[in-house]
Amino acid sequence: MPGIKSKLESFFGIEIKVLIAVIAIIVGTVGFIIIAGLVSRGSSDQFDLQILRSFRVPGKIARPIGPVWMFEVMRDVTSLGGPTVVFLIIIFVIGYFILQKQYSMLFLVLVAVIGGAVMDLELKEFFGRIRPQIIPTLMQEKSFAFPSGHSMMSAIVYLSLASLIARLQVRWRDKIYIIIVAVFLSFIIGISRIYLGVHYPTDVLGGWSLGLAWAALCWFAAWYISQKRSGGIISKSGNDLPGNGR
């Protein structure tokens, strides 16, 4: 892995983690714009309907697929992206950073979470998409549907925290494992929203896309600031290169 990493960095002229962050920002932003356009035009309605119905027993639209205990599992899973659990996680993380006196990390987490929450609320009001009415929902939700707040906030919170934890690891396989866990958590939370019938699939896809872009953008901003402070960013003229005699 170190050999591949160094070759990629040499080819692109940039750290591989920064390249990944930039790609995530672009893919997430473009993905959200495309999905939002489809939702606004109603072009995704047929797709949403087919996926929602695939999570229900044929001929019994009020009954979700799977064994009886699956509903309990999905209800528990969906709470991992809910405001209560997210709030508790953030409080614990803030407390940890205060104890460690890592105030820059504390600021990053606050910006990522608060900014993401405000963006989610504003976008819901802007699009004003009503929750699914074509199938009986298994939970009651009152806010608008697009984008999915659970999917978006789980991507922001878990990916942001995973990136911070991964920075403390030395081995690449440990870093990758941590990121995979964060992605998996966000994935199953989004699936649970569709399973419970409280969101259209495009709501979840939109939430994932925007959450990915926002988490990557916050990470990139933190990286840039840290590099700027340490003098690690090389200017075009090469005058800022450490060890140039200045």
Question: Coil, strand or helix: which one is 63?
Answer: strand
Residue pair 86/153 in contact by the 8 Å Cβ criterion? yes
Active site residue 199: yes
Check 124, 129, 193, 199 and give the catalytic one.
199
How far apart are alpha carbons 63 and 69 in whole angstroms? 12
Residue pair 200/45 in contact by the 8 Å Cβ criterion? no
Distance of CA 154 to the CA centre of its chain: 6
Distance of CA 180 to the CA centre of its chain: 12
User: What are the Cα distances from residue 125, in Å, to 70, 81, 83, 122?
Assistant: 32, 20, 18, 5
Active site residue 152: no
Check 150, 157, 200, 205 and give the catalytic one.
150
How far apart are alpha carbons 32 and 101 in whole angstroms? 36
How far apart are alpha carbons 36 and 207 in whole angstroms? 10
The catalytic residue positions are 150, 199
